[in-house]
C-alpha cells in the first residue's frame, strides 16, 4: 500500500527567484496490487508525484508511506534497500545504447545485490523478446525498447512498478501491446502498478482507479471499469476514417 499524506512540493526557480507549487497538499492511497492511474495535462505534477514514491523527488511537506515505511524519513542506506522493491519505466525507455537487450535487462543485478530475481529466459519470454536478446537498442522498434524497459524493471521482482508516460512515445498499435504486457505483469507477478499518463484510453484499458491532477492539486479520484475495447476495437484505418473522413 502506498499512502500520500498531505504532500506538498515547491520547486525554487533559480533564475527568477520564484517558487513553483508543483504539488499542493496531496492525500490519497494506492492499494496493494492495484493498477492506479494518474492523469492530467502537461505540468500538472504527475511525474513529481510518481517520483516521490521512490524518492527521486523529495517532499517539502507531508509523508509518502510505502508498505508502512515513511520514505521521506529513511536514510540513504535504507533507501537503497527499500528501492529494491520498486521498478520504474520511462517514456524515453532509458536504455543503455552500448549494451544488448539482455545486458540492459540484467543491468540492475550488476549494480546491486538482490536476494531474489527472475530468470532471464523467463522474462525475455514474458515480454516476447527471446529472438532479440543479442540486439542493440538502435535496432529495436519503440515498442521493443519499452519491452526491454519493462523486463529490466521486472527482473528484480518488484512489489511496485512506476510507469511515467510509458506509451506516450508509441503509436496506437504498439501502445495496446505495451498495455497488454503491463496488465499481464500486474496479474502474474502481483505488482502494484502506478501509471502516469495523459492518454485517457490507456487509463481506461488498464486502471481500476485514477487520480485526476490539475496545477498540483488532486481534483478527483475515480473508480473505473477497465475496458480493453478502447484500444483494440478498431484498426488503424478505422480510427483514421473516424477522425479524418468527411461526414456525408
d(CA 41, CA 197): 9
Smaller CB separation from ligand ADP, 15 or 113:
15
Three-state SS for 51-89 is HHHCCCCCCCEEEEEECCEECCCCCHHHHHHHHCCEEEE
CB of 47 to ligand ADP, least distance (A): 3
42 touches ligand ADP (CB under 6 A): yes
Q: Given phi > 0 = left and psi -120 to 50 = alpha, else beta, which region is 31? A: beta
Q: Can you name the residues that pair with 30 across neighbouring β-strands?
A: 2
Smaller CB separation from ligand ADP, 102 or 164:
164
Q: Are 217 and 53 in contact (CB under 8 A)?
A: no
219 binds, among ligand ADP, Mg ion, none (CB under 5 to 8 A by kind): none
Mask of contacts with ligand ADP, 144-173, x by CB under 6 A? ------------------------------
Residues 119-148 that bind ligand ADP (CB under 6 A): none
Q: How many CB atoms lie within 10 A of CB 225?
A: 7
Q: Can you name the residues that pair with 194 across neighbouring β-strands?
A: 36, 162
Q: Are 147 and 33 in contact (CB under 8 A)?
A: no
Task: Tell which one of 37, 45, 108, 137 touches ligand ADP (CB under 6 A).
Answer: 45
In this chain, which stretch among 37-45, 84-92, 138-146, 152-160 interacts with ligand ADP, using CB under 6 A?
37-45
44 touches ligand ADP (CB under 6 A): yes
Angle at CA of residue 122, ends 125 and 31, nearest 5°: 100
d(CA 39, CA 56): 19
Residues 194-223 that bind ligand ADP (CB under 6 A): none
82 touches ligand ADP (CB under 6 A): no
Smaller CB separation from Mg ion, 47 or 104:
47
CB of 22 to ligand ADP, least distance (A): 4
CB of 12 to ligand ADP, least distance (A): 8
What's the DSSP call for residue 132? G
User: Which residues of this chain interact with ligand ADP, rule CB under 6 A?
Assistant: 11, 13, 20, 22, 40, 42-48
Amino acid at each position: 500500500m502506498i499512502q500520500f499524506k498531505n504532500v506538498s512540493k515547491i520547486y525554487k526557480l533559480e533564475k527568477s527567484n520564484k517558487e513553483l507549487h508543483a504539488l499542493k497538499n496531496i492525500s490519497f492511497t494506492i492499494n496493494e496490487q492495484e493498477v492506479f492511474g494518474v492523469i492530467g495535462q502537461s505540468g500538472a505534477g504527475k511525474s513529481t508525484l510518481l517520483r516521490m514514491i521512490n524518492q527521486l523527488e523529495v517532499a517539502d511537506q507531508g509523508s509518502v508511506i510505502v508498505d508502512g515505511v515513511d520514505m521521506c524519513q529513511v536514510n540513504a542506506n535504507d533507501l537503497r534497500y527499500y528501492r529494491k522493491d520498486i521498478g520504474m519505466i520511462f517514456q524515453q525507455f532509458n536504455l543503455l545504447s552500448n549494451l544488448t537487450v539482455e545486458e540492459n535487462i540484467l543491468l540492475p543485478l550488476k549494480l546491486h545485490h538482490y536476494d531474489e530475481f527472475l530468470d532471464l529466459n523467463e522474462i525475455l519470454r514474458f515480454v516476447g523478446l527471446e529472438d532479440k536478446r543479442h540486439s542493440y537498442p538502435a535496432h529495436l522498434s519503440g515498442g521493443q525498447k519499452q519491452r526491454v524497459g519493462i523486463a529490466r524493471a521486472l527482473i528484480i521482482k518488484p512489489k511496485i512498478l512506476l510507469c511515467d508516460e510509458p506509451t506516450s512515445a508509441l503509436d496506437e498499435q504498439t501502445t495496446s501491446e505495451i498495455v497488454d504486457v503491463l496488465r499481464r505483469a500486474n496479474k502474474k507477478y502481483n505488482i502494484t502498478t502506478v501509471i502516469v499518463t495523459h492518454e485517457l484510453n490507456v487509463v481506461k484499458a488498464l486502471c481500476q482507479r485514477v487520480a485526476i491532477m490539475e496545477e498540483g492539486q488532486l481534483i478527483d479520484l475515480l473508480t473505473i471499469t477497465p475496458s480493453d475495447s478502447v484500444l483494440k476495437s478498431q484498426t488503424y484505418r478505422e480510427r483514421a476514417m473516424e477522425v479524418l473522413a468527411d461526414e456525408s
